[in-house]
Amino acid sequence: MARNAVNSEGRVAVHDLVKRFGSVAAVDGVSLDVAAGEFVALLGPSGSGKTTILMAIAGFEYPTSGRVEIGGEDVTWAPANKRNLGMVFQRYTLFPHMSVAENIAFPLKMRGIGRVERERRALAALETVRLAGYGERRTNQLSGGQQQRIALARAIVYQPRVLLMDEPLSALDKNLREEMQLEIKHLQQQLGITVVFVTHDQTEAMTMADRVAVLDLGRLQQVGAPRDLYEAPATPFVAGFIGETNFLPGRAVAAAAAGETLAVDLDGGGRVAAVAVDRLAAGAALRLAVRPERVRLAPSAGGLGGTVVEAIYAGVATTLIAELGGERRVRARIAAGTGERNWSDGEAVDVSWRPEDARAFAAGAAG
């Protein structure tokens, strides 16, 4: 299939979107702008509002308030069949009584496209998803990954301006899921189509998306490129949800503006340094966040002291758990092949990190 022209037709914007079910706000004032040709993932745990936002874009749910625009056009109250969007669900909803080609051509038939043109487009879509020659088969003769590709072909065959995907890979096993993540990303790049993709799997979002919108309890926590979310989380929720993070409570030794490096007195003892995410007053309670792979262990020499209590070998890396006292524990991850020594249970160590690798959030910060 020909690559779609990347123009304003594929832009998606939601403005101050609110969706209430009774007294519960499933979506609470979310605004998000997706550029034409961009791949954006909506990421969050169950109940975060990600699917509700997708359904509002699709036209299957109408918001309590707010606005949805596609291609600069206000479609908030437009019916789903007037929005020219492609949709791939968790369940592929393929028709078992139809051939693969008939399944793919079905949306074209509903749009009144003639049989010859339907067949031509269906075969082109099959080629796009690397299933040329499968047109005459029945869907029950296909593997899960092949059925997923057919559902994708059916969603793109009429050249929609936006492709919406709701947990489309969750039914696949791990290896096939990882393979399909890359296939969908490459297909999106080939077609130049805008994609809004819902997932609860952070690895999936980080692998596939140009930007990730992280949601929790109906509110948008942060939007950014995967690297930005991982390296510079804006809230404790994002720090904890994206990757693994050690959290340690403490207090600011002196006042610091957002972005400044400050000294932190940890609860239970020890002074360390971190970058302030929020403005902090002297003595303000905070939560310090540091990734396990940024934590360093060294022979005890009077620094932030700890004791190794467990080593977990996982091939590509070893995770060491060090107890700092007062029931505080820190995980350190050491990549294989770094030449770092093996640590023994019960060994005394100093725990450290670079100040720029730790982030200090105000104790009352969201998440």
For the chain (length 367 residues), average pLDDT per consecutive 10? 60 97 95 97 96 97 97 95 89 84 90 90 90 89 86 89 91 84 90 95 95 97 97 96 95 96 95 96 96 94 90 90 90 87 89 96 81
- Asked whether the beta carbons of 10 and 29 are under 8 A apart, the reply is no
Token pair recorded at residue 152: 């994708």
Fold of 244-362: OB fold (Dihydrolipoamide Acetyltransferase, E2P) (2.40.50)
CA distance linking residue 268 with residue 132, whole number of Å: 64
Domain with CATH 3.40.50.300 in the chain: 8-236
Per-residue model confidence (pLDDT) at position 231: 95
Rg (CA), the chain: 25
Per-residue model confidence (pLDDT) at position 1: 52
Give residues with Cβ within 8 angstroms of 311, minimum separation 6.
Answer: 318, 319, 320, 321, 342, 343, 345
CATH number of the domain at 8-236, please?
Answer: 3.40.50.300
Give residues with Cβ within 8 angstroms of 90, minimum separation 6.
Answer: 166, 167, 168, 170, 171
* Sheet architecture: strand order including 348-352: 296-299, 348-352, 304-313, 317-325, 328-335
- CA distances to 90, 198, 230 from 146, rounded to whole Å, are 14, 21, 33
Domain with CATH 2.40.50.140 in the chain: 244-362
CA distance linking residue 229 with residue 222, whole number of Å: 8
Closest CA to 65 of 19, 23, 99: 19
**Opening angle at CA 102, ends 101 and 106, nearest 5:** 120
Per-residue model confidence (pLDDT) at position 7: 60
The dihedral region occupied by 325, where left means phi > 0, alpha psi between -120 and 50, and beta the remainder, is: left
- Asked whether the beta carbons of 195 and 22 are under 8 A apart, the reply is no
How many other CB atoms are there within 10 angstroms of residue 144's CB atom? 15
Burial pattern 177-188, b for ≥16 Cβ within 10 A else e, equals beebbebbbebb
Please tell me whether the overall predicted TM-score, pTM, comes out greater than 0.95 for this model.
Answer: no
The dihedral region occupied by 192, where left means phi > 0, alpha psi between -120 and 50, and beta the remainder, is: left
